């Protein structure tokens, strides 16, 4: 993924997501951060990442919650070859590091402030053409 670059054009009457981005690329942009980015202020991981990944931006309301998965994209792609569950989603065979970002406060206007929770969870994805396109949720490993 090093050197992977997308160009974004924002027109005044904005647009949904990034022009020319596939759903898999969007999934990676919004949900995969591997290795976990070390941010200048560790407690601002969510704010920094969501801004860099163009989820939060001026003129966009703050996203109420977002999960970042700290595993190589390949591991999530591999989940797509597993047996889907009753809802049609596939889970990763092992738990992975994730950061769950939840909006705090009471304002949807930037600057967006988040609370981060780091856990080891299985990740559930929806796949299309063998690639993850949707993060359906995460769950703790069954005890």
Smallest distance, Å, CB 119 to other proteins? Answer: 17
Contact 3, 112 (CB under 8 A): no
The residues pairing with 99 across neighbouring beta strands, listed in sequence order, are 68, 118
| Distance from C-alpha of 126 to C-alpha of 132, rounded to nearest angstrom | 6
Answer yes or no whether residue 18 interacts with other proteins by CB under 8 A: yes
Answer yes or no whether residue 134 interacts with other proteins by CB under 8 A: yes
| Distance from C-alpha of 12 to C-alpha of 80, rounded to nearest angstrom | 37
Active-site annotation holds for 134: yes
**For residue 136, what are its two tokens?**
């359906």
With contacts defined by CB under 8 A, name the span among 74-82, 91-99, 116-124, 128-136 that binds other proteins: 128-136
Answer yes or no whether residue 15 interacts with other proteins by CB under 8 A: yes
Active-site annotation holds for 31: yes
Residue 75, class by beta-carbon neighbours within 10 Å (0-12 exposed, 13-18 middle, 19+ buried)? middle
The residues pairing with 101 across neighbouring beta strands, listed in sequence order, are 66, 116
- Comparing CB distances to other proteins, the nearer of 8 and 140 is 8
Smallest distance, Å, CB 58 to other proteins? Answer: 7
Catalytic residues: 31, 134
Which residues lie near other proteins (CB under 8 A)? 1-21, 23, 29, 33-34, 37, 39-41, 43-44, 48-49, 51-54, 57-58, 60-61, 63-66, 87, 104-106, 108, 115, 126, 128, 133-136
């Amino acid at each position: 993924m090093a050197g992977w670059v997308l160009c974004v054009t924002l027109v005044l009457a904005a647009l949904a997501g990034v022009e020319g981005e596939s759903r898999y690329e969007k999934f990676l942009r919004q949900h995969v951060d591997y290795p976990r980015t070390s941010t200048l202020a560790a407690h601002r991981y969510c704010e920094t990442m969501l801004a860099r990944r163009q989820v939060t931006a001026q003129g966009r309301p703050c996203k109420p919650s977002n999960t970042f998965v700290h595993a190589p994209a390949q591991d999530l792609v591999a989940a797509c070859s597993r047996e889907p569950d009753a809802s049609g989603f596939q889970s990763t065979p092992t738990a992975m590091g994730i950061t769950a970002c939840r909006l705090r406060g009471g304002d949807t206007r930037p600057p967006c402030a988040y609370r981060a929770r780091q856990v080891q969870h299985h990740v559930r994805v929806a796949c299309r053409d063998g690639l993850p396109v949707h993060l359906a949720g995460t769950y703790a490993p069954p005890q």
